[in-house]
Amino acid sequence: MYFKWGRSRVSIFPLLSITAIVLVSNLLWSFSGYTFCHREPSLCGCQKCLRDSDPWFNDIISEAPEPFLSQKHIPSEKDFLWWKNLQGARLQNLTLYNKTLERLFQTITPIADIGEPRPDHCRSCAVVGNSGNLRGSHYGPLIDFHDTVIRINRGRTKGYETDVGTKTTHHVMYPESSTRLDNTTHLLFFPFKTHDFLWLMKDLNRGENGAPNVKKIANKDLIWILHPAFMKYVHQVWLGKKGAYPSTGFLAVVLSLVMCDEVTIFGFGADSGGSWSHYFEIFKNKKFKTGAHPGEEEYKMIEKLHKKKTIVFFKGW
């Protein structure tokens, strides 16, 4: 098709093509009435990645050591000496510790290094504490929506599904807070003394001689062991050495900031009555505190991360 432009004939098809390109471009930049803003390339596939946060967060998280033990990542003497004094275990020594680790690594499959963020994938994580403020929260479906759900110590789901959900992909514990896991749940083992490794080996070797159906604490191929250097990092860098050592809950929170691209926190802090109680326990006329853990400081840090929009924190009731 042609039309006259002065004395020349001009084809209309190139003009239509240019118009179509302009229209498509406008649609792409103004879809459904919303104008898209230019966005810098992100490290992960989430709407907002942790590493897209402010410089303060990037500086503090960049100091994090390798979080899990493996043949490649064993403690230095300095990190071991800090770790062994957590509970006054003076009889421990680095040689015994390393020999115990060698034996343990013959039983379990140590984790490989944590993968880096990918622009085509979003690793969303929910960290579920055990605070009594979860009672009546109805957070269950929201918790289960996440790819990874980390539960802590004796945190349970049966009978509390409406408030805490049903999904567990990773479970944090140590011997005194242990609960048996199913065959698909990762055990995040937080050891505080050399005896904890011996306890784990003894449990995993149960039934090896004649009783194969004995239920073990966890799948030996899904056990990740927190590194003493990471515990030290959380205590010194995140908490400014306040309290004797971090709680398992706060260790799990900081660990999630290394493992995940997007983090949501549930069930931390005191309940509405000011007691640091658990959602699965009802105590009357008692005001539970946090013991050796700097609970108030940990809670303030979680709130700070929330206010900076680094994480999302659902406080409960």
DSSP 52-85: GS-HHHHHHHHT----B--SS----HHHHHHHHT
What is the model's pLDDT at position 8? 40
Distance CA 20, CA 70 (A): 58
What tens digit of pLDDT does each residue of 267-292 get? Answer: 998 776 667 778 877 765 555 555 56
Is residue 110 situated within a structural domain?
yes
Do both 11 and 94 map to the same domain?
A: no
* Stronger pLDDT, 55 or 206, i.e. the higher one: 55
Q: Which residue from 227, 233, 255 is spatially nearest to 74, judged by alpha carbons?
A: 227
Identify how many contiguous H helices and E strands the chain contains and give both numbers. 10, 11
In a domain, residue 73? The reply is yes
Q: Show the CA angle centred on residue 33, arms to residues 27 and 35, nearest 5°.
A: 70
* Same-domain pairing of 10 and 65: no
Amino acid at 52: D
The whole-number pLDDT of residue 40 equals 56
Same-domain status, 31 and 154: no
Q: Are residues 60 and 112 in the same domain?
A: yes
Residue 201 lies in a domain: yes
Number of structural domains (the chain) is 2
Pairing of strands 148-152, 170-173: parallel
Q: Say yes or no: 219 and 116 in one domain.
A: yes
- In sequence order, the β-bridge partners of residue 307 are none
Can you list the positions of beta strands (E) in the chain? 2-5, 8-11, 30-31, 34-35, 124-128, 148-152, 170-173, 186-189, 223-225, 262-266, 312-314
Whether 43 maps to a domain, the answer reads no
Compute the chain's Rg from CA coordinates. Answer: 26
Same-domain status, 239 and 293? yes
The pTM score is 0.82
Task: Confirm if 265 and 252 have CB atoms less than 8 A apart.
Answer: no
pLDDT above 60 for 1: no
Buried b (16+ CB within 10 A) or exposed e, 128-163: bbbbbbbbebebbeebbebebbbbbbebebeebeeb
Strand-pair partners of 150? 127, 170
Would the CA dihedral through 187, 288, 139, 312 be positive or negative? negative
Quick check: is 40 in a domain? no
In a domain, 76, yes or no: yes
Q: Confirm if 227 and 82 have CB atoms less than 8 A apart.
A: no
Nearest to 83 by CA among 252, 189, 235: 235
Query: Are residues 10 and 107 both part of a single domain?
Result: no
Work out the mean pLDDT of the chain and round it to a whole number: 82
pLDDT exceeds 60 at position 5: no
Same-domain check for residues 26 and 56 = no
Domain of 257, CATH number, reads 3.90.1480.20
Q: What is the pLDDT of residue 207?
A: 62
Catalytic residues: 245, 293
Residues 176, 235 within the same domain: yes
Residues 157 and 285 in one domain: yes
pLDDT, position 191: 94
Task: Average the pLDDT over each of 79-83, 149-153, 205-209 and give the range with the smallest value.
Answer: 205-209
Taking the C-alpha atoms of residue 287 and residue 317, their distance in angstroms, rounded to an integer, is: 17
Asked if residue 11 and residue 127 are part of one domain, the reply reads no
Are residues 225 and 81 part of one domain? yes
User: Which 3 state secondary structure label does DSSP give 131?
Assistant: strand
Q: What is the pLDDT of residues 190-221, one digit of tens each?
A: 999 888 999 999 999 876 655 566 788 999 99
Boundaries of domain holding 300: 50-314
At 218, which amino acid appears?
A: A
> What whole-number percentage of the chain has pLDDT above 90?
55
